[in-house]
Structure 1
Amino acid sequence: MSYPFQTAETPVWDPALRVGQVYLGQVRSVAEVMEVASGLTPLRNGSCDLDPATFATFVDHLVKFYNAGRHPTLSHLLRGVLLVSLVLLKRAGGPPPPAGNEVLDALLAEAVALERTMPV
């Protein structure tokens, strides 16, 4: 059983059920802490809608939150959510965060590698 994520037009990720549920739970928690909407809406049919514009805003805030972090444990907790979110943002056609920051450039490269393991 899987937990598909899709925009109105496009499937963006079809992870295993528990993987999708864990990611969605992490996003909900991070969005609540950052006080920003995530752009992800779980549906009764066992899938999740992704609103590209709202999700792009969420990812932008997440990148800033991650870069501003001064606590190593928080950085590790956010890293996985951020990497998956960067892949979903790309697949949803959202604008990538601006490159140029050494840390962000490394994350974007890692997201490219991660994307190969994320089925659509």
Structure 2
Amino acid sequence: MSYTFDIGDDTIWGPANSVAHIFLGTVKTLSEEYRLPSGVGDDLMGMVEIDPVEFTAFVQRVLAERAQSLHLYKSMMLDGILPLLIAMADRGKLGLCARSPEESV
């Protein structure tokens, strides 16, 4: 079994169940930490709808947090999720952009 993460009619990611659960837990934690909606909808029997506006703002915030972080372990954890968030935004054609040189690394 696997999940589907969709923006409208387009599936942007289809991970295995265990990978999806880890991703959803990480996104939920970051959303709570930054007090910002992630744009990642509820799990509806393995189908998750992404709100493109909220998700873009969320990914931009995670990028900014990583760029500003001086904490080694925080940086390492964000480095684990950011490639996936960026890839999903790219597949969804959401138009992310680096706002500083640190964000483009």
Identify the residue that residue 44 of structure 1 maps to in structure 2: 44
Per the TM alignment, residue 99 of structure 1 is displaced from its structure 2 partner at its CA by 6.6
Paired residues, number: 105
Identify the residue that residue 84 of structure 1 maps to in structure 2: 84
Per the TM alignment, residue 100 of structure 1 is displaced from its structure 2 partner at its CA by 6.0
CA-based RMSD of the aligned residues comes to 1.4
Q: Percent identity?
A: 25
Query: Is the CA contact (8 Å cut-off) linking 2:38 and 2:54 kept in structure 1?
Result: yes
Report the Cα distance in structure 1 between the residues aligned to 2:2 and 2:41, rounded to whole angstroms: 16
Q: TM-score, normalised by structure 2?
A: 0.91
Query: Is the CA contact (8 Å cut-off) linking 2:2 and 2:17 kept in structure 1?
Result: yes
Map 1:48-63 onto structure 2 (within 5 A).
48-63=48-63
Report the Cα distance in structure 2 between the residues aligned to 1:26 and 1:43, rounded to whole angstroms: 14
Query: Is the CA contact (8 Å cut-off) linking 1:4 and 1:47 kept in structure 2?
Result: yes
Report the Cα distance in structure 2 between the residues aligned to 1:74 and 1:105, rounded to whole angstroms: 18
Map 1:1-120 onto structure 2 (within 5 A).
1-98=1-98, 101=101, 103-106=102-105
Q: Which runs of 5+ in 2 are unaligned?
A: none
Q: TM-score, normalised by structure 1?
A: 0.81
Report the Cα distance in structure 2 between the residues aligned to 1:98 and 1:104, rounded to whole angstroms: 5
Query: Is the CA contact (8 Å cut-off) linking 1:3 and 1:20 kept in structure 2?
Result: yes
Q: Which runs of 5+ in 1 are unaligned?
A: 107-120
Output the amino acid matched with 2:43. L
Report the Cα distance in structure 2 between the residues aligned to 1:93 and 1:56, rounded to whole angstroms: 10
